[in-house]
Amino acid sequence: MTDHGHRFGWSLRARVAVAFLATTALAMLALGLFVQLRVQNTLEGGLRDQLDGEMDGLAATPSSERADAVAQLAGDIHGQMMSADGEIVASSTAVIEQLVPADVGDGYSETRIRVLDDLFEARRGEEDLEVDNEPVVVLVKSFGDQVVVLAIESEHADEAVSTVRRQLLISGPVALALAGLLGYVVAGFGLRPVERMRARAATISSRSAGERLPVPSAAELRRLAVTLNAMLDRLDEGLDRERRFVADASHELRTPLALLLTEVELALSGSRTPEELREALRSAEEEVRRLIALSEDLLALAGADAGHLQLQTEALDIAELAAAVVQRFGATAEVASRSVSISGDRSARVAGDPDRLGRVVSNLVDNALKHGAGDVDVRVVAGSKEVVVEVSDEGAGFTEERPFERFAGSHGSAGLGLAIVDEIVRAHGGDIGIAREHGRTVVRMSLPAAARP
């Protein structure tokens, strides 16, 4: 298989669930980062607020008493006061070394400091004192020739951030699993109407014409179902048309074949005279020609249905072509004591296939002579955008509602002539119609006029 989805065997439902899972994972990752940064910033802001509060208290303390205040700091806040040249003046109890370099400027920073682990043991004079390397947030501020350094331990804040991170890492996969399961279930519910449509489509065949797909309530699927049902309507119409075509073609072929078989059987009977044999052969020849013409018509219509109606297009004068057709049918009309004439413009140029358009005009004139009455007139009218060719006679007209349908009766007959005419005209970008005007039956064909050089 070359199809990517079939190669990996993933159903649409699974793909929707995976897409839902991936989207949820990205959303949760972004949310987790936001929560972690928000908690971290909040905790750091709290530490700085504590430093600011303590520093404000020291700022309000008289400068002569500030060193003692710094030395008395305890708990999570450590303090140290230096002179302007960096000499340590006072330190809180747990501080055992200089907190920041002497040349550091005022402001906040983060670092690690070494402090005593247990002040109680330090006060008892224990020799083996434990020293911690504590992460702290530092605030430095100058008061004249005094530099005060405050440091607050950030270990608890860091642990809180780590706890939040661990909880997110634990709860995230669980939430993703639930999201993936939910996406799979929701996709199943969403695709259930599609499955019903698929199941119904699997039962529709040429023997179950008229069945249609169920129409879901969802707007998108409703449009899909309506579109597919419209396609099935067209397919049913085409199938019905082809069935009628085959049935009518079989009927049309059966008659000349039966007559041909009868003539052959009579000719082989052995009791016929040479003149009767010649007459039988002439009748057989006529039926064979009729079969050949019918076969050619069927092939032409089959080619038109398949989109293979070949046109050898060239610039031609349709008035001149119509005049040649009229001249060819003149003798046939005289035998029936009728006439065929041409009127209108003597020059009308179109872009078309001369053989195909000649057949159109010939079929129309032949149809008027065989099934119409009175004189036949071919009229050509040339316009700037289209050329109109009219073939009229004095007959009663067509009794059928759609005479251009295949095997529709035309003037009481059945055949393919007008159906082929319609296909050829439409292939040239024109149209054809029938009307009753001034007591005459008029078949009017219009074609796009050729561009003038």
Q: What stretch(es) of the chain map to CATH 1.10.287.130? A: 219-305
pTM: predicted TM-score of the whole model, two decimal places: 0.45
Q: How confident is the model at residue 414 (pLDDT cuts 50, 70, 90)?
A: very low
Whether the pLDDT of residue 297 is over 70: the answer is no
Q: What stretch(es) of the chain map to CATH 3.30.565.10? A: 314-448
- Sign, CA dihedral 33-36-42-47, equals negative
At residue 72, what is the residue type? Answer: Q
Whether the CB-CB separation of 267 and 430 falls below 8 Å is answered with no
Q: Give the model's pLDDT for residue 2.
A: 46
Which range, 90-104, 234-248, 401-415, is most confident?
A: 90-104
> 231: exposed, middle or buried (C-beta count within 10 Å: 0-12, 13-18, 19+)?
exposed
- Nearest CA to 443 among 405, 388, 399, 406? 388
Q: How confident is the model at residue 403 (pLDDT cuts 50, 70, 90)?
A: low
CA separation for the pair 160, 205 (Å, rounded) = 68
Higher pLDDT, 405 or 373: 373
In three-state secondary structure terms, 105 is coil
CA separation for the pair 91, 362 (Å, rounded) = 121
Q: Please write the tens of the pLDDT for every residue from 136-164.
A: 889 999 988 889 999 988 888 888 888 88
The number of helices, as runs of H, and strands, as runs of E, in the chain is: 11, 14
94 contacts: CB under 8 Å, gap ≥ 6: 74, 78, 115, 116, 119, 122
Which range, 45-59, 184-198, 210-224, is most confident?
A: 45-59
CA separation for the pair 365, 329 (Å, rounded) = 8
Backbone angles phi, psi at 126, to 5 degrees: -60, 140
Tokens 């078949």 -> residue? 443
Q: Please write the tens of the pLDDT for every residue from 97-141.
A: 888 887 778 888 888 888 886 655 444 445 556 677 788 889 999
In three-state secondary structure terms, 341 is strand
- Nearest CA to 34 among 156, 160, 168? 168
CATH architecture label of 314-448: 2-Layer Sandwich (3.30)
- C-alpha dihedral over 145, 149, 150, 156, to 10 degrees? 170
Higher pLDDT, 233 or 323: 323
CA-to-CA dists, residue 450 to 312, 318, 422, 423, 444, angstroms: 15, 11, 20, 20, 18
Q: Give the model's pLDDT for residue 412.
A: 38
- Angle, CA 90 vertex, CA 87 and CA 91 arms, to 5°: 110
CA separation for the pair 314, 185 (Å, rounded) = 64
Q: Give the model's pLDDT for residue 401.
A: 55
136 contacts: CB under 8 Å, gap ≥ 6: 78, 110, 111, 112, 113, 151, 152, 153, 154
CATH, domain range 219-305: 1.10.287.130
Neighbours of 329 (CB within 10 A): 20
Q: Please write the tens of the pLDDT for every residue from 335-376.
A: 888 999 999 888 889 998 888 888 889 888 888 888 888 999
Whether the CB-CB separation of 72 and 58 falls below 8 Å is answered with no
